[in-house]
Amino acid sequence: MHWKPIQLIYAALFAALMGIGANVTSYLVIGGVPITLQSIIAIIAGALLGSRLGALSMTIYALVGLVGMPVFAGFSGGVRALVSPTFGFILSFIVVAFVVGKMIEKKKKIVTSYAFFVAFIGLALNYMIGTNYMYFAYLWIADAPDGFSYSMVWLWMALPLVKDIILTILTAVSIPKLLRMRTHHLAETKQTAS
């Protein structure tokens, strides 16, 4: 697999955006629900960068955080994140970017209805992987609260899910326009290089 330097710059850019999106919560909390942009950044990374490069960008984000850079939520980082109940969400971003990218790559023209479908598949993957990881992490690693159950974990995720549904709708509406802008930019870049 051979990527051009500009593609690697885009991957690094989306990894950096992920770190920013994770830490918006330090400044913006509404009704006790942290407002992060991570789910939509993973969706956009897959849509704009494609499956492999999008997944690479999310992998870079995860690795940068695991080596200790404070890019995870709450300006945290380090290998201790592996045993955090929320680490499944970090892993899910890699899968989300890959699957969204694959789905976008299979279509020649992306219409808004398809962008909605793709974006919500990405959000569903994010929550399925992240929430299930959280459940098992509380069972096996972390101290689960009294009366802990699978339904309790999903109830915890209800408010963030509402916020993410709203953000995913906005993202889905934006994807076709972002893809047209990317196509136009690539065409201009090829003309300039000629």
Determine, yes or no, domain membership for 108. Answer: yes
Cβ–Cβ < 8 Å for 70, 86 = no
Cβ–Cβ < 8 Å for 58, 18 = yes
pLDDT score at 101: 98
Range of the domain at 168: 5-188
pLDDT score at 31: 47
Q: CA-to-CA distance for 43 and 92, rounded, in angstroms?
A: 11
Q: CA-to-CA distance for 6 and 12, rounded, in angstroms?
A: 10
Determine, yes or no, domain membership for 92. Answer: yes
Q: CA-to-CA distance for 24 and 119, rounded, in angstroms?
A: 21
Q: pTM for the whole thing?
A: 0.92
Number of domains, the chain:
1
Determine, yes or no, domain membership for 95. Answer: yes
pLDDT score at 194: 64
Determine, yes or no, domain membership for 72. Answer: yes
Determine, yes or no, domain membership for 193. Answer: no
Determine, yes or no, domain membership for 158. Answer: yes
Q: Any idea what the CATH number is for the domain that residue 183 is in?
A: 1.10.1760.20
Q: What does the pLDDT profile of the chain (194 residues) look like in tens digits?
A: 789 999 999 999 999 999 999 998 776 665 445 678 999 999 999 999 999 999 999 999 999 999 999 999 889 999 999 998 899 999 999 999 999 999 999 998 999 999 999 999 999 999 999 999 999 999 999 888 889 999 999 998 998 899 999 999 999 999 999 999 988 877 777 777 66
pLDDT score at 144: 86
Determine, yes or no, domain membership for 116. Answer: yes
